[in-house]
Structure 1
Amino acid sequence: MKTALITTVRREHDELLDQVGGISLGAVVPDFHVVIALADRAVTQGRLPITSDRWETLIDGLPTVKQQLPTARALHLGVTTALDAGAELLIFIEPTSIPDQHLVARFAERVQRGGHPRPVLWYAETGRLPPAGPGGYELARLSEHVRGQSQLLPPGVEEVYAQGAAFTSPCFAMTREDYVAAGGLCTDYVSGLGHDTDLATAVIGAGGDVVRVTGATAYQRHQPTTMPDKVTLASAATNATLYHQRWGRWPDVRWLTELVDANLVRLHEDGTCVVVSGAAELMAAR
């Protein structure tokens, strides 16, 4: 089964280099590492050392982007690139995530074993990392530094999501056939929010399952806490409204509920999510 690891990048160069380093530690590596650059010339012009003789690196890009990055559209471009190259298993991973050395192998063997109604969206366990030290992360020892709240499953335990509206993950996988059967990614989502929740909802709506794969771990780099700015708030409102238009309910995810609870965005009965007047200025003042 030919596999493709698909990511997007918008100036996350250190993160991308760590992702490549993580891939290189695997006994089983993807056949293709598909990198879609969002107006990032350093990537599209080949100025980063992200290639290897162990896999094929496929680079494409979207030449212009607005502040609300078209991440979902870029990931779908990555799918097209991967399928054209002959990929049968599509593994989506955020640029700030580092694959465990067993991730590709575990996804491939679990997908081939099957056992769930299709289409199936398989997702990785998430290992959250503390801040990196002065020399960066020790990629061969990431499992030793996973924070306790990551809640990795014990061997043999399998978790199936019941509601797609609550699903979000930095790394998930689908076969070529299941991706098509579920309708693929909705490319109208922006800034890396909502597309995974939407796809999981589509999978469950098509009679399939969303399944957590034990032993397939994506390590999430530490991200400093920042106040939401105008772009973040506008993206959240756009994506929440889009999800409601498509599915008739609100996504039940942290990125939305925290903004609602903080009275930064408001959900209206007509299915629109709007940014509260003065919210961005209030957050900036804080």
Structure 2
Amino acid sequence: MGLSVCTLVRNREGHLGQLVEGLRRSARQPDELIVVDMSDTPVTIDDAPFPIWIDRFETTGLPLAEARNRAAHIARQTHLVFLDVDCIPMSACLDRLDDTLAADDALLCADIRYLGPEDARGDWREADLLKTGTRHPVRDFPMSGTRRETNPGLFWSLAFAIRAGTFEALGGFDEGFRGYGAEDTDFGFRANAAGLPLVFVGGAIACHQHHESFDPPVQHLADIVANASLFYKRWGCWPMEGWLTSFADMGLVDWTGDRLGLLRMPTVDEIAASRLARSGDTQRNVRKDHGALAIVGKT
């Protein structure tokens, strides 16, 4: 059984280089790396001891569902590991995910450690990243072994693994979710509905590289409103509740009960106020994806 690593990149070539470096140092290297490149200028990647396939995807925005499906379609191995481009896999990460997939047909999540602004900006040592990286405050990973997670709203696409045949049987990510937001939560819910276990894998650690972020992500407001509405129509509960609450507090959306409407786009000043500076609060940056959580049965 082979292992394909899939990643997407849009104008983050430096982050991509560190992801590839993590793969080079992995105890179990991938049989191939698939890169879907949505950058304004095509990326270049140094030689690696495994094949690298770059799929040039010229598009606007961030069509995440379509881009991940493109990567999975290109991949030729039986196990798929999806890593966001800002993730650096630690040496045991791929091995733990690959072994777990071999034993269990499940949807696997890797354990993320959030790095500070100055971490992994050049050469790095794994021990240093593990020492400084911050664990996620909500997602509870075991130190070793695996843990079954019963809330599909806690699936994250940041770093996950699945058998290629299972991904295909699920239909991949729903490309009806356009751009940014809720496509991964929908995937987690569909996997749960199909009876696929969600498993948190201890020891499968990837370190998330710090970058400029927005809290809430006002630059994706229109996508989030449209995708949240589609999700609610399908599942009867709202995804990204933290972000929707923030948008409502800002007067950007009307969100009442089962209704969500876009009132206006953010101003330049509101976008600037939502920006988390590269040298800003690391803990706040860790917390920002709380808005992506969805709880089964919560309306």
Same fold flag (TM > 0.5): yes
Query: Which digits, 9 at most, give the CA deviation of each residue in 1:85-129, with x for residues without a partner?
Result: x21011111111111111111101111122xxx5x2111011111
Query: Which residue identity does 1:274 align to in structure 2?
Result: G
Residue 144 of structure 1 pairs with residue 144 of structure 2: no
Q: Secondary structure at the match of 1:42?
A: coil
* Structure 2 CA distance for aligned equivalents of residues 254 and 78 of structure 1: 30
Question: Equivalent residue for 1:9?
Answer: 9
* Structure 1 CA distance for aligned equivalents of residues 39 and 120 of structure 2: 29
CA contact (8 A) 2:244 2:255 kept: no
Residue 274 of structure 1 pairs with residue 261 of structure 2: yes
* Structure 2 CA distance for aligned equivalents of residues 209 and 263 of structure 1: 39
CA contact (8 A) 2:11 2:41 kept: no
Q: Cα 1:182–1:13, aligned 2, differ >3 Å: closer, same or farther?
A: same
* Structure 2 CA distance for aligned equivalents of residues 169 and 137 of structure 1: 26
Tell me whether 219-228 or 148-157 shows the greater mean CA deviation: 148-157
Residue 158 of structure 2 is aligned with which of 160, 170, 175? 170
Question: Equivalent residue for 2:70?
Answer: 77
CA contact (8 A) 1:228 1:283 kept: no
> How far 1:176 moved relative to its partner?
1.3
Residue 103 of structure 1 pairs with residue 71 of structure 2: no
* Structure 2 CA distance for aligned equivalents of residues 203 and 111 of structure 1: 15
| TM-score (ref. length: structure 1) | 0.83
> How far 1:230 moved relative to its partner?
5.5
> How far 1:262 moved relative to its partner?
4.8
> How far 1:183 moved relative to its partner?
2.4
Between the aligned residues of both structures, percent identity stands at 25
* Structure 2 CA distance for aligned equivalents of residues 232 and 92 of structure 1: 22
User: Which blocks of at least 5 consecutive residues in structure 2 are unaligned?
Assistant: 274-299
Residue 60 of structure 1 pairs with residue 50 of structure 2: no
Residue 125 of structure 1 pairs with residue 111 of structure 2: yes
Tell me whether 157-166 or 239-248 shows the greater mean CA deviation: 157-166
> How far 1:153 moved relative to its partner?
3.4
* Structure 2 CA distance for aligned equivalents of residues 261 and 167 of structure 1: 27
Question: Equivalent residue for 1:51?
Answer: 47
* Structure 2 CA distance for aligned equivalents of residues 152 and 270 of structure 1: 30
User: Which blocks of at least 5 consecutive residues in structure 1 are unaligned?
Assistant: none
Query: Which residue identity does 2:193 align to in structure 1?
Result: G
> How far 1:79 moved relative to its partner?
0.5
> Aligned-residue CA RMSD in angstroms?
2.6
Query: Which residue identity does 2:54 align to in structure 1?
Result: I
> How far 1:164 moved relative to its partner?
2.1
* Structure 1 CA distance for aligned equivalents of residues 164 and 140 of structure 2: 27
* Structure 1 CA distance for aligned equivalents of residues 240 and 181 of structure 2: 12
* Structure 2 CA distance for aligned equivalents of residues 30 and 247 of structure 1: 35
